[in-house]
C-alpha cells in the first residue's frame, strides 16, 4: 500500500489541473451487504409459496437457497462478509460453491424491481468523512452501477437524503465506469481522476480509461481515508 501511495502521489504531482474523486456507492458509502444479509436471514425460513405468492422469481430463488442449506446441513446465517466474498469471487470469475451461487441468485432477486430496499440502506461508518475529504482535495462525484432502472432512481433518492450537497450533475449511474470517465473529458484535459470502489471489475474499467483506481474495503476504511489525507499534503 505504501509503494502504491508513493507512486500515486508522484503521478499526481506530475499532472496538471484539478483532482476529481469518484465514489462508488454499494460497499463504499452504502451498507449494501449489511442490508442484504439482514433481508436474506429474515426470509430464509419463510414458506416461499406464501411469502412470495406474487413473485415467481423470488419464490424460486428462495426455494433453491433453502434446498442448498438443507443439503449442506447448514444452520448458521448469511453474513455481510460472506456476501462480499461471493461478489468478489463472481467478479474474479473464481469457482463458487453451490450454496454461494444460490445465495447470489437470491440476493439478486431481492434487489431487482425493489426500490425501497435501496432507499432503506444505511450509510457506512466513515463515508461522510471520505466525501468531506474529497471535497477539500478537489471535486467529488458519485459513480455507481445500477441493477435495474428502479435501483438507479432509488440510489439518486438515497443520495438526496444522505448526501444532499452532491449536485445531480456529479452523480453518474452506469455499469460502464470507464465510458463515464471518458465522456467527461477529464483525462483529455490532463487532469486526474480517482475512483474509490470495492469491486475490481469497475476499477479495471476506470483504469482502462486513464483513471486511477483505489481498491476499497468497508472493513479497512482507514486505508482509504489515509490515502485521501495524503493527497492533501
- Closest listed residue to residue 123, CA positions, set 215, 52, 26: 26
How far is residue 51's CA from residue 113's CA, in Å, rounded to a whole number?
Answer: 17
The cell numbers describing 101, all together, are: 451461487
The cell numbers describing 53, all together, are: 405468492
Tell me which long-range contacts 13-17 makes (C-beta under 8 A, separation of at least 24): 15/190, 15/191, 15/192, 16/190, 16/191, 17/189, 17/190, 17/191, 17/192
Each residue's pLDDT, cut to its tens digit, for the chain (233 residues) gives 555 555 555 555 554 458 999 999 999 999 999 999 999 999 999 999 999 999 999 999 999 999 999 999 999 999 999 999 999 999 989 999 999 999 999 999 999 999 999 999 999 999 999 999 999 999 999 999 999 999 999 999 999 999 999 999 999 999 999 999 999 999 999 999 999 999 999 999 999 999 999 999 888 899 999 999 988 76
- Closest listed residue to residue 102, CA positions, set 58, 61, 71, 57: 61
In this prediction, residue 1 carries a pLDDT of 53
Cβ atoms within 10 Å, residue 137: 19
CA 115 vs. chain centroid, Å, equals: 16
Helix (H) or strand (E) segment spanning residue 24:
none
Domains of the chain: 2-31+121-231 (3.40.50.1000), 32-114 (no CATH)
In this prediction, residue 2 carries a pLDDT of 56
Residues in the chain: 233
CA 77 vs. chain centroid, Å, equals: 22
CA 177 vs. chain centroid, Å, equals: 12
In this prediction, residue 5 carries a pLDDT of 55
- Closest listed residue to residue 84, CA positions, set 60, 100, 95, 105: 100
With H, G, I as helix, E, B as strand and everything else as coil, classify residue 140. Answer: strand
Would you give the DSSP letter of residue 219? Answer: G
Amino acid at each position: 500500500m505504501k509503494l502504491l501511495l508513493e507512486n500515486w502521489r508522484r503521478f499526481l504531482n506530475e499532472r496538471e489541473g484539478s483532482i476529481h474523486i469518484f465514489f462508488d456507492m454499494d460497499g463504499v458509502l452504502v451498507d449494501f451487504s449489511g442490508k442484504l444479509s439482514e433481508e436474506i436471514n429474515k426470509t430464509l425460513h419463510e414458506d416461499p409459496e406464501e411469502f412470495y405468492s406474487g413473485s415467481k422469481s423470488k419464490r424460486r430463488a428462495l426455494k433453491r437457497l433453502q434446498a442448498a442449506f438443507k443439503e449442506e446441513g447448514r444452520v448458521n446465517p448469511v453474513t455481510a462478509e460472506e456476501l462480499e466474498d461471493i461478489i468478489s469471487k463472481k467478479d474474479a470469475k473464481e469457482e463458487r460453491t453451490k450454496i454461494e451461487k444460490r445465495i447470489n441468485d437470491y440476493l439478486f432477486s431481492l434487489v431487482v424491481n425493489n426500490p425501497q430496499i435501496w432507499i432503506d440502506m444505511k450509510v457506512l461508518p466513515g463515508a461522510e468523512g471520505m466525501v468531506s475529504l474529497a471535497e477539500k482535495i478537489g471535486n467529488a462525484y458519485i459513480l455507481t452501477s445500477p441493477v435495474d432502472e428502479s435501483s438507479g432512481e432509488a440510489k439518486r433518492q438515497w443520495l438526496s437524503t444522505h448526501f444532499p450537497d452532491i449536485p445531480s450533475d456529479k452523480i453518474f449511474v452506469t455499469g460502464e465506469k470507464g465510458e463515464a470517465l471518458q465522456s467527461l473529458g477529464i483525462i483529455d484535459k490532463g487532469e486526474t481522476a480517482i475512483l474509490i470502489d470495492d469491486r475490481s471489475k469497475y476499477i479495471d474499467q476506470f483504469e482502462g480509461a486513464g483513471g486511477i483506481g483505489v481498491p476499497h474495503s468497508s472493513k479497512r476504511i482507514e486505508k482509504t481515508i489515509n490515502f485521501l489525507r495524503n493527497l492533501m499534503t
